[in-house]
Amino acid sequence: MSISALIVGTAFLGIFALASLSLNNTAIIASEILEENSDEPEIRLINASEVGGVIHLNMTNTGDETVSFNQTWFSIDGASPIRASDYHTQSTILFPGETQHIQLNGTGITSPSRIFVASMGGQSGVSFS
């Protein structure tokens, strides 16, 4: 009886080892795929101005990733970041190669000197003109 238990136990250990190896290889492949697709967008503020409390920006996407305004944050003069989609409602996405004129209405900020944008790891800043 002990020999049959030893054979069964060894078979289960072999099955467990193969399953562990397969799981490990799958995890490595998934990690490599995530690393390949984790590109940060390349966004750039071209210029910024403020007229009557409305902030005007020209922003371009020089990368290969789309940029969602729902995941884009502006910080004006180092103040708390504001979500772009809360103030800019004309479009929701900045496509690769696209440049958009963006208006931030109702921020309550007048006479700003500098603005910074960050989105999904990409970032840029510019002084107001």
Q: In this structure, what CATH number is given to the domain that contains residue 117?
A: 2.60.40
Domain count within the chain: 2
Say whether both 68 and 54 belong to one domain: yes
Predicted TM-score (pTM) of this structure: 0.66
Across the beta sheet with 82-83, what order do the strands follow? 82-83, 72-76, 114-119, 122-127
Which tens digit of pLDDT belongs to each residue from 14-43?
776 666 666 666 777 776 666 655 567 889
Say whether both 30 and 50 belong to one domain: no
Say whether both 34 and 49 belong to one domain: no
So what's the pLDDT on residue 38?
53
Confidence of residue 6 (pLDDT cuts 50, 70, 90): confident
Say whether both 52 and 94 belong to one domain: yes
Say whether both 6 and 68 belong to one domain: no
So what's the pLDDT on residue 120?
85
Which tens digit of pLDDT belongs to each residue from 37-94?
556 788 999 999 999 889 999 999 998 889 999 999 999 998 889 998 888 878 889 9
Say whether both 109 and 72 belong to one domain: yes
How far are the Cα atoms of 31, 47, 61, 88, 104 from residue 52, in angstroms, in the given order?
Answer: 49, 17, 27, 16, 11
Say whether both 31 and 47 belong to one domain: no
Owning domain of residue 23: 1-38
Which tens digit of pLDDT belongs to each residue from 90-121?
888 999 999 999 888 888 888 999 999 998 88
